Structure 1
Amino acid sequence: MNLSTPPARFVQISVGTVVAAVLVAGMVRTSPARSTVSAAWRDASTLSTEGWAGAWGAAMQPPVEGNEDTGPNWSREGFADQTVRQVVRVTAGGTRARIRLSNLYGTRPLRVSGATLGRSAGGAMVWPSTMRTLTFGREKSVVIPAGREAVSDSLALPTSPLERLAVSLRFTERTGQATFHRFAMTSSYRAQGDHLSDQGADAYTQSTSSWYYLSGVEVSGTPVSRERNTVVAFGDSLMDGVGSTPGADARVPDHLAERLAAEHRPLAVVNAGIGSGKLLHDSECGGEKGLTRFRRDVLARPGVRSVIVHLGANDIGAPQTGDPCVRPSPRVTARQLIDGHRALIRAAHGRGVKVIGMTVGPMKGALFPFWSPEGEKVRQEVNDWIRTGGEYDSVADADLAMAGASDPAMPRPGYVFMDGVHPNDAGSHAIAAAVDISAL
């Protein structure tokens, strides 16, 4: 078995030296000619983030095919004369809200003909009277250049922590291949024609478990947004939620957000994990390496106070798989991985962001070729540096939380998903409990 085709419901493994300059390089691509850009478009990188918090987010990926095991997705085909409704759970409340849309991996300008935001009533339904029309520069439609992001105007919509919102996007023209997030671990819905304002779900007859173009929901008007109070969970499939129950909001960042809400801590949590992601190298299904995307997916978000970093497992394990989905897969040393982590720490500290290092969990016992004695030595050396090196501001020990009693190189049976390596809901809860929330 390989990483790209785990058994039904498996979503692929992930945790996944470049100079630190990559981290501070520009995150946008060359925009098309001015004539192709809507006057309503506002470059996300030029907008002030003061007074805003990232209440929800997803790291964007280039399009990739689905399969019978990971499930279908619409990233290759894109959309035409369709409405897409996506449901997300915000981790902080506010009095106003706005969304962030990404055409990062588009090859042409993306025309969004309309967008709405409302409270989810379950599935593709929206609570009556909560539907709001989103605008961009006071226009209902927007054209986003290839390689860029846009942020909507803010609108009045009171929200509370752990509430689900429904974002609907209308595409009248053919979009081409779609920038997306592969493993949403929840359902997104598609309808033919214009169903932006539908409160019911009847027209939304198709679904998939990915998010499209939607990279953030942001809130303002509460203590969470008045200071830098956003925590970003940055990493691979452990952060992304692979192994957790679909639709249950049972990922590690979800459990962390619930802890913070229960203790009335004014902190929001954004999930910037990507299944199959690596620290040092790009991959076909995991997208850009952590060193490249750190600035965009962490430091460029509004109100970031701290970041939790979990990367390295795919760098260590992928060479054993032979899976084209995670190529290129050169063998890495502990020193290379440590240097990569140090580059992330420097970039974060340069922006006044606290960095929490998370150890790499047990990898032995996976049902696909992922573990080796040589790789285990690398994992142990990297974990020892994370724990004792003193370079991270704090440490969350996922390895200790997941380690089996008889063989610490293997995960506890009650904490592991059926693939033998990813944490299940209980394991994700245990890892989130290992985070010292006072350090955030």
Structure 2
Amino acid sequence: MALTPVAAVAADTNGSATGWAGAWTGSAQGVYPVGYSVAQPGPTGPAGPGNTAPLLTAAFPDNQARNQTLRMIVHPSVAGASWRVRLTNEFGTRPVTFGRSYVGLQSSGANVAPGSNRALTFGGRRSVTVPAGRTTLSDPVSVKVTDAWSQRLAVSLHVAGESGPMTWHAAAFTTSYLSDPNAGDHTADPTDTAFPHSTTSWFFVSEVQAQRQDATTVVAFGDSITDGFFSTMNGNDRWPDVLQRRLDERRSAHRPISVITEAIGGNMVTRIGRTPGGCTPCDGPPALDRLDRDVLDRPGVRVVILLEGINDLGGGNASADQVIAGYREIIRRVHAQGIKIIGATLTPSGGTEFGLYGTPETDAKRRAINDFIRTSGMFDGVADFSAVTEDPANPGHLRPAYDTNSTVGGAGDHLHPNRAGFLAMGAAIDVAQVERFVRQPAVKRAA
């Protein structure tokens, strides 16, 4: 499937001199509730390909926003004083009108720090209507973030009228807040009184940019393992978060580097789709189709770290050659923009009881793909996640210490590493190499 053209206000391209950098992203993946959410409050929806996530029935009784306010909490990866916010209606079927939108500093829960809440404008106007299949980028707004690790932004959106189908990112691993339906505009409220409902997903917001002349962007591009499945809620301990902290520790000698996560649970490299009975719409647009939107069109991107392919094997029964062909196309398109790309080896999935993830055949394909990543020379660098997560006593399986669920507790599923596994993966990345790639001039290669 190909993505509809989505930029109502064009994003800055890589290498532009506008001084904007990606500070946070949440890949738009489809229409609520189709997707794989994690720790979402609410009853489980009807089973089947059309409805896989728990339903927020109190906030969205008919699966749409209705004259209500959504307070989305996002974690910028760099400090800053001026921001732009992208609102998305990419998967909607009708225009969505945002009557008012605000950005402020979260203090606790749905509370906003006193004096920090600022109104967003779009082309100078307070209200904006985003057509179906489109996005829009706000004007700059001034909110001072001095410490990106201790401060989060609260993006408050008033949906005027009915939204129709809502574009979302299912698994945020961050708690956001919702008003009652028909509660009206509470975007300017500093307190959480009007926000009785919580969600662990992001709705209608897909990007926050920081105005930083000195910052560059690294994109972590992948599936649920990059999205943070089985990491802790609100813990910022996905492997891209670990990488961000490691880069920050060395930042005194270098320009700031912002790591943004463009990952979708279930996502595939190829367009092969799920085997019969699976939920292809749940997986979001394949990496080949969202590469421009989520990587090449983001501002200031200098490095991509790609971890994706296990869903093609375990969910879609693709061949190793099909995944490698997808890698080759991604590498070619990334290099054509003068961006470096690091290949991350696929982590093991032996013992997984759903799909084809746990079979010996899938593991053989995974090993062939990892050999390509390590030895083909097509990637500019390698992050060997397989080496640090695979159990040497039980090849093809995760280390037992990494095979539990840090999100909700209990046993793991043999596919997703836990918090400890993500720490090991983040530590396996050569940060000196990432810094070197960032400092090198961007040289575009022939496509």
Bin the TM-score by the shorter chain: 0.7 to 0.9
Q: Give per-residue Cα distances to partners, 1:318-366, cap 9 Å, x unaligned.
A: 1xxxxxxxxxx3x211111111001000010011111010110011022
Q: For residue 28 of structure 1, what is the aligned residue in structure 2?
A: 5
Give the counterpart letter for 2:260 in structure 1: V
Give the counterpart letter for 2:177 in structure 1: Y
Root-mean-square deviation (CA, aligned residues, Å) is 1.9
- Work out which of the residue numbers 349, 360, 365 in structure 2 matches 1:363: 349
Q: How does 1:216-231 map to 2 (within 5 A)?
A: 216-224=207-215, 229-231=216-218
**1:72 equivalent in alignment to 2:60:** no
Q: How does 1:332-371 map to 2 (within 5 A)?
A: 332-369=318-355, 370-371=357-358
Q: For residue 285 of structure 1, what is the aligned residue in structure 2?
A: 282
1:43: how far off?
2.2
State the alpha-carbon separation in 2 of the partners of residues 209 and 222 from structure 1. 33
Q: For structure 2, which runs of at least 5 residues remain unmatched after alignment?
A: 35-42, 45-51, 274-279, 405-411, 435-447
Judge conservation of contact 1:232–1:304 (CA < 8 Å) in 2. Answer: yes
State the alpha-carbon separation in 1 of the partners of residues 373 and 137 from structure 2. 36
1:371: how far off?
1.4
Give the counterpart letter for 1:368 in structure 2: F
1:261: how far off?
1.6
Runs (4+) of structure 1 moved beyond 6 Å?
Answer: none
Distance 1:431 1:128, change over 3 A: same
Secondary structure at the aligned position of 2:33 is classed as coil
- Work out which of the residue numbers 240, 246, 264 in structure 2 matches 1:259: 246
1:221: how far off?
3.5
State the alpha-carbon separation in 2 of the partners of residues 89 and 278 from structure 1. 26
**1:164 equivalent in alignment to 2:152:** yes
1:286: how far off?
0.9
Judge conservation of contact 1:64–1:75 (CA < 8 Å) in 2. Answer: no
**1:436 equivalent in alignment to 2:430:** yes
**1:53 equivalent in alignment to 2:44:** no
Secondary structure at the aligned position of 2:111 is classed as coil
Distance 1:75 1:315, change over 3 A: farther
Judge conservation of contact 1:111–1:143 (CA < 8 Å) in 2. Answer: yes
Q: Give per-residue Cα distances to partners, 1:344-394, cap 9 Å, x unaligned.
A: 000100111110101100110224342111111110000000011110000
Q: For residue 313 of structure 2, what is the aligned residue in structure 1?
A: 316
State the alpha-carbon separation in 2 of the partners of residues 256 and 44 from structure 1. 30
* Percentage of pairs with the same residue: 37
State the alpha-carbon separation in 2 of the partners of residues 217 and 406 from structure 1. 43
1:300: how far off?
0.8
Distance 1:180 1:293, change over 3 A: same
Secondary structure at the aligned position of 2:30 is classed as coil
Q: For residue 43 of structure 1, what is the aligned residue in structure 2?
A: 8
Judge conservation of contact 1:65–1:75 (CA < 8 Å) in 2. Answer: no
State the alpha-carbon separation in 2 of the partners of residues 76 and 47 from structure 1. 37
- Work out which of the residue numbers 273, 295, 303 in structure 1 matches 2:263: 273
Q: For residue 100 of structure 1, what is the aligned residue in structure 2?
A: 86
Judge conservation of contact 2:403–2:414 (CA < 8 Å) in 1. Answer: yes
Give the counterpart letter for 2:55 in structure 1: P
**1:199 equivalent in alignment to 2:186:** no
Distance 1:381 1:221, change over 3 A: closer
Give the counterpart letter for 1:429 in structure 2: L
Which moves more between the two structures, 156-165 or 355-364? Answer: 156-165
1:439: how far off?
2.5
Judge conservation of contact 1:85–1:124 (CA < 8 Å) in 2. Answer: yes
State the alpha-carbon separation in 1 of the partners of residues 22 and 381 from structure 2. 22
- Work out which of the residue numbers 380, 396, 400 in structure 1 matches 2:367: 380
- Work out which of the residue numbers 411, 416, 427 in structure 2 matches 1:422: 416
State the alpha-carbon separation in 2 of the partners of residues 314 and 47 from structure 1. 31
- Work out which of the residue numbers 169, 175, 178 in structure 1 matches 2:163: 175
Distance 1:59 1:110, change over 3 A: same
Q: Give per-residue Cα distances to partners, 1:166-213, cap 9 Å, x unaligned.
A: 100001210101111000112121113221111111210011111011
**1:62 equivalent in alignment to 2:46:** no
State the alpha-carbon separation in 1 of the partners of residues 413 and 168 from structure 2. 25
- Work out which of the residue numbers 238, 244, 250 in structure 1 matches 2:237: 250
Secondary structure at the aligned position of 1:223 is classed as coil
Secondary structure at the aligned position of 2:143 is classed as strand
- Work out which of the residue numbers 381, 394, 403 in structure 2 matches 1:394: 381
State the alpha-carbon separation in 1 of the partners of residues 332 and 320 from structure 2. 18
1:46: how far off?
6.2
Q: For residue 37 of structure 1, what is the aligned residue in structure 2?
A: none
State the alpha-carbon separation in 1 of the partners of residues 12 and 369 from structure 2. 38
1:136: how far off?
0.5
Q: For residue 99 of structure 2, what is the aligned residue in structure 1?
A: 113
Q: Give per-residue Cα distances to partners, 1:280-322, cap 9 Å, x unaligned.
A: 125221111111011111111111111111111011111xxxx
Distance 1:311 1:221, change over 3 A: closer
Q: For residue 302 of structure 2, what is the aligned residue in structure 1?
A: 305
Judge conservation of contact 2:314–2:362 (CA < 8 Å) in 1. Answer: yes
Q: How many residues align?
A: 390
Distance 1:183 1:255, change over 3 A: same
State the alpha-carbon separation in 1 of the partners of residues 61 and 94 from structure 2. 14
Q: Give per-residue Cα distances to partners, 1:225-248, cap 9 Å, x unaligned.
A: xxxx10111110011010111111
